Chains A and B, each alone.
Chain A
Amino acid sequence: MSDILEKTEAIVKKGKALGADEVLATTVFGRYRQTRFSNNQIDITTAWNDYVTDLTLSWNKRLVATQIRNFQNSAKIAEQLFKLAKVSKENPNYGGIASGKFTYSKPTADRKLQELENPSQYVFEAVEAAQKEAGSEVKAGGILFSKYEDVYLVSSEGPVGRDARSAVELSIRAFSQIDASGHGVECCSSLGNFKPSRAGEKAGKIARMAKNPKQAKEGKYDIIFDPLFFGSMLSTWAQMVSAYSIMIKLSVFVDKLGQKVAPEAVTLRDKPAEYSVNNRIFDDEGFPIQENLFIERGILKTYLHNTSTAKIFKTNTTGNAGLVQPQPWSIEMDAGHLSKDQLFDEMKNGLYLTNTWYTRFQNYATGDFSTIPRDGIFLIENGEIKQSWKDLRLSDNILKLMGNIAGISKERQQVHWWLEADPPSLSPYVLVKDIQMTRPK
């Protein structure tokens, strides 16, 4: 057992010795690096090292949590936390944490991501690719982000595990004109597959096509969503299948288990596989990660659970703890039967939307919302891009958007961008029929 695992275990033993019913400690040594760039130049490179142990304990169904930095004052902090538990209030819904001895997959983190040798080279590679597509006058900005986390989990209920999680991401937005831009992302869990030029090329290509945009026209449209845009929708649906969202009505999926919510072509799963930038082998209770089909052939099959919410809903945990709030890790939409080109070829009249931001709801229970497409917005006629547009807003209903899915591409891309497409997803090009678009007056 490593020194860090021993220290983490000692905290758990201390908690038990104080009289806690259940104690869970997770130590993360995280190394995070980010290079920010704009106007084709590097603005700042930031590095942050984080040494933290999350400590959670329960006593008589009272749940309390704290953090310990670099194992300093561990015993004292555990004592203070136990005192807090004693004056806290009982949570009758608290159903405990995962118990038992589990076997985990082997972590597959890429050690090269512990310290990137020369992060600037990846940035310049992406910027050059954008310039190659859209011309040397293009102005590009974005981030290069890498993480490497060593994770040590010890639970008084049995789970003991060690994980290593790595990711590298590049997000680039290229402007060919002040109102013409394109966005590309490259998201990988290891450096081997990481090709920043792919993101730069895509951003540059969209920026070139988006030049000289015309004022958009309001109306109902059939829309092809780029994987980056659709990643935002996938993350919204995934957050809405957390059992916590169901309990506080922040979801369109309340009381819809077993019901048809989408066409048969739609299958969505939560799967933090080794290639995901949010990869992991156990959840925050130490329960082994599993693949959860939450929408299978259009039917809502399950909510995402931790041990407590699973007991409330009379089912089993899905390995999505969050100790208070179950959460999706990494979403996958199953590929369709059409190629991306076929999707475009078959569109007689509609829009191609490449990215979005600022998704906000009038009502999470009914799903009425709007979101603002950004970067390339294109009018398509007879399978061809006819015109670049600007100033348009998607103003409709998120459940209707799911129900109107009419085509899914074979091609899929892992996308993750800021808070707009988070958690990450494996997202295809998707055709959705009859969606309301509005514009300012």
Chain B
Amino acid sequence: MEKDIVNFALDYAQSKAVDYAEARAQNTKHEEIVVKNGILDAYVSTVDSGLCVRILAEGGLGFASTNKLSKDEVRAIVDMAYKSAKLARRQDEIAFAEEKGVKIKWDVEQKKKIEDVSPEEKIDELMGVDKSLATQEIKIPGRISVCEIDMAEKYFVNSEGSEISSFLPKIAAFAFITVVENGKPEQAFKQFGRSGGWEAFEEWKMTETLLHEANVLQRLIKEGKSVKPGKMDLVCGTEVTGIASHESCGHPIEADRILGREMSQAGRSFIYQGGPYWIGSQIGSDIVTIVDDPTVKNSYGYYKYDDEGIGARRRFLYKNGKIHEFLHNRETAAKLGTRSNGSSRSTNYDREAIVRMASTFLLPGDWTEEEIIADVKHGIYMKSFTEWNIDDRRFNQRYVGREAYMIENGELTTQVTRPTIETSTKTWWSTVDAISKKIDFDAATCGKGDPMQGIPVYTGGPVIRLKEVYVK
């Protein structure tokens, strides 16, 4: 990491009439291994490095980046960011919530260092997963798996005296399979992700997970029964609880959406000033508490300081069924008269940091999974999902089950084909009446921003029961 040029960028920015300036550099070693239908398609290995500056001047914001680390180029991008900030000519000036400078170094430990694992070993591991799938009796004619490794070294300095160095290694894998039985196809996508070293690949048990998925899909084709639509109890597996927590709690609670800054792309929120929902409004049953926590150890969304140099902490988004706390960066916090809670993230040096989630999950309750199922007379257990979406106010959502079963008199009976719930955020969280003790997490890539910044997150939570909801 060439810290001198980053410090030079900040010094040069501070030589201008700025209210605030920061320089952020990132050096990312990236590897991508693609295995398709038993063949190694390609191995990509890159090192990407560059820096950006962000300047607040005359109430406007300017941002510029480059990967050409010469003093002339850095001067040029600082000039560009400064000029852009001044050209904004805003009626209400942008301000940042107050913070003190921080000097710190942080990193994430790797039990098995990624750099100590040879390319051959990485290839063999991923191809081994594919081979296990290809040699089953189940026909899986469509298989693609991808392993991605990112080792990001960052250096952040700002005009308030912050100086933060960090090293964050992450590995991820994606797999998409198509099972065909009697000429009919069914498909599943699984994502794995973790911060830390290569030990994650062994912990995931990718082969076992994907073989389970293949069996589920085969049974679905052979034995799956359709659902008789109507009101019933819906038990959601941890994957389903996780996506709902992310989509209908995490996203609408992002303060930049609430203030309209994402109005054209990712959209707004059902929470807005002067609207029916605000902090303190009831949105779920009393037992619903959802948090977002970047400090979950080895999570895919882990960080210790955000990309504005603010320390990460657990945020209580919905607490006891009430809207409790928004996700903030310094700009949104200043607008709403509060402090940043460290939610500002960027995917790379060439992207503006914006308000993002990290690990969003419903806190556990006091039931066991078995007790929840045993307490259902007539319902569905939706363990995992396939198609899903939600409107851009984050209120009208739909989840379609991938692995799902009927529950009759407390027993799991037949596998059911694509049960669907299409409901509002209020109905979803208000009907939760049982929550399991055990929770689990899934890795996901959250999309937001323009240009799109796909950022690593965890979604998760316990098994939950939604009482008397319409399922079709």
- A contact residues vs B (CB 8 Å cutoff): 34-36, 38-39, 41-52, 62-67, 69-70, 77, 80-81, 84, 87-93, 118-120, 139-143, 171-173, 175, 178-179, 183, 247-250, 323-324, 357-366, 368-372, 374, 391, 393, 395, 418-419, 438-441
Complex contacts, A179 vs chain B, CB 8 Å: 393
Asked if A45 meets B67 with Cβ closer than 8 Å, knowing A39-B260, A81-B45, A372-B390, the reply is no
Residue of B36, B41, B120, B452 touching A419 (CB-CB under 8 A):
B452
Whole-angstrom CA separation of A359 from B447 in the bound complex: 13
Are B386's CB and A363's CB within 8 A? Answer: yes
Is the Cβ of B387 less than 8 Å from the Cβ of A369?
yes
In the complex, chain A residues whose CB is within 8 Å of the CB of B264: 38, 140-143, 171-173, 183
Q: A38-B261, A47-B80, A178-B275 are in contact. Are A418 and B268 (CB under 8 A)?
A: no
In Å, the complex CA distance between A64 and B43 comes to: 5
Q: Which 4 A/B pairs are nearest by Cβ-Cβ distance?
A: A249-B142, A45-B84, A358-B389, A141-B263
Complex contact B87–A118 (CB within 8 A): yes
A62 to B40, CA, bound (A): 8
Task: Please tell me if the beta carbons of A64 and B63 are within 8 angstroms of each other in the complex.
Answer: no
Q: Are B123 and A49 in contact (CB under 8 A)?
A: no
Given contacts A52-B67, A178-B275, A372-B390, contact A67 B88 (CB under 8 A): no
- Say yes or no: is B39 at the interface (Cβ < 8 Å to chain A): yes
Q: Are B176 and A49 in contact (CB under 8 A)?
A: no
- Identity of the chain B residue whose Cβ is nearest the Cβ of A64 in the assembled complex: B43
A368 touches B87 (CB 8 A): no
Report yes or no: B187 in contact with A364, Cβ–Cβ below 8 A: yes
Say whether A120 contacts B88, CB under 8 Å. yes
Alpha-carbon gap, A88 to B81, bound state (A): 43
Q: Which residues of B contact A81 (CB under 8 A)?
A: 45
With both beta carbons as reference points, the residue of chain A lying nearest to B31 in the complex is identified as A84
Within the complex, what minimum Cβ distance (angstroms) separates B259 from chain A?
8
**Which chain B residues (386-443) contact chain A, with CB distance < 8 Å?**
386-393, 396-398, 400, 418, 422-424, 427
Closest chain-A Cβ to B95's Cβ sits at a distance in Å of 13
Binary contact track B178-212/A, C-beta < 8 Å → 1, others 0: 10000001110000000000000000000000000
Q: Which of B65, B81, B87, B263 has the most CB of A within 10 A?
A: B263
How many Å from the CB of B247 to the closest CB on chain A? 10
Q: Does the CB pair A439–B422 fall under 8 Å?
A: yes
Distance A183 CA – B52 CA, assembled complex (angstroms): 31
Task: Decide: A38 and B262 in contact? CB cutoff 8 A.
Answer: yes
B297 interface contact, C-beta 8 A: no
* B450 touches which of A90, A143, A172 (Cβ 8 Å): A143
* B291 on interface, CB distance cutoff 8 Å: no
Q: In whole angstroms, how far apart are the Cα atoms of A172 and B264 in the complex?
A: 6
For B263, the chain A residues whose CB sits under 8 A away are: 38-39, 139, 141, 173, 175
- Could you tell me the distance between the alpha carbons of A46 and B397 in the complex, rounded to whole angstroms? 33
**Chain B window 32-59, contacts with chain A (Cβ cutoff 8 Å), 1 for yes, 0 for no:** 0010110111111111111010000000
* Cβ contact within 8 Å between A372 and B42: no
**Does B115 belong to the interface (CB within 8 Å)?**
no
State whether the Cβ of B118 lies closer than 8 Å to any Cβ in chain A: yes
* Chain A residue at minimal CB-CB distance from B272: A178
Residue B161, interface by CB 8 Å = no
Q: Report the Cα distance A248→B143, complex, angstroms.
A: 6
Pick from A120, A178, A324: contact of B87, CB below 8 A: A120
Residues on A with beta carbons closer than 8 Å to the beta carbon of B284: none
Which residues on A sit within 8 Å (CB–CB) of B10? none
A88 touches B40 (CB 8 A): yes
Please report whether the interface of chain A is mostly helix, strand, loop or mixed according to DSSP. Answer: strand
Whole-angstrom CA separation of A418 from B68 in the bound complex: 27
A84-B43, A88-B43, A363-B185 known; A70 and B67 CB under 8 Å?
yes
A46: which B residues are within 8 A, CB to CB?
62-65, 84, 352
Chain B residues, CB < 8 A from A84? 43, 45, 119
Q: Which of A173, A179, A248, A323 is the most central at the interface, judged by chain B CB atoms within 10 Å of its CB? A: A248
Question: In the complex, which residues of chain B have a beta carbon less than 8 angstroms from the beta carbon of A70?
Answer: 67-69
Query: Do B470 and A441 touch (CB < 8 A)?
Result: yes
Q: Separation in Å of the B37 CB from the closest CB of chain A?
A: 7
Shortest beta-carbon distance, A325 to chain B, in Å?
9
Known: A48-B66, A141-B264. A418 touches B60 (CB 8 A): no
Residues on B with C-beta less than 8 A from A419 are: 447, 452
Smallest distance from the beta carbon of A158 to chain B beta carbons, Å? 22
B293 within 8 A of partner (CB): no
Say yes or no: B185 contacts A41, CB within 8 Å.
no
Q: Measured between C-beta atoms, what is the minimum distance from B451 to chain A in Å?
A: 8
User: What residues of B have a CB within 8 angstroms of the CB of A63 in the complex?
Assistant: 41-43
What residues of B have a CB within 8 angstroms of the CB of A359 in the complex? 389
Interfacial chain A residues near B350, Cβ < 8 Å:
48, 50
How many Å from the CB of A149 to the closest CB on chain B? Answer: 15
B141 CB within 8 Å of chain A: yes
Q: Which of A34, A38, A90 touches B260 (beta carbons < 8 Å)?
A: A38
* Residues in B neighbouring A48, C-beta threshold 8 A: 52, 64-66, 350
Residues on the A chain within 8 Å of B81, using CB: 47
CB-CB under 8 A for A42 and B60, given A51-B68, A87-B119, A391-B391: yes
Complex Cα spacing A160 to B241, Å: 53
B61 at interface, CB cutoff 8 A: yes
Chain B residue at minimum C-beta to C-beta distance from A29: B68
Given A66-B44, A120-B87, A248-B178; A370-B392 close (CB under 8 Å): no
Q: Is the CB of B267 closer than 8 A to any CB of chain A?
A: yes
Q: Establish whether residues B268 and A178, one from each chain, have CB atoms under 8 Å apart when the complex forms.
A: yes
Given contacts A49-B77, A87-B118, contact A248 B386 (CB under 8 A): no
Cα of A213 to Cα of B287 in the assembled complex, Å: 34
Flag if A69 contacts B49 (CB, 8 Å).
Answer: yes
State the CA gap A69–B46 with chains docked (Å). 10
Chain A residues in 8 Å Cβ range of B391: 358, 372, 374, 391
B185 & A69 in contact (Cβ 8 Å cutoff)? no
Residues of A within 8 A of B66 (CB): 48-51
Chain A, residue nearest B121 (CB): A87
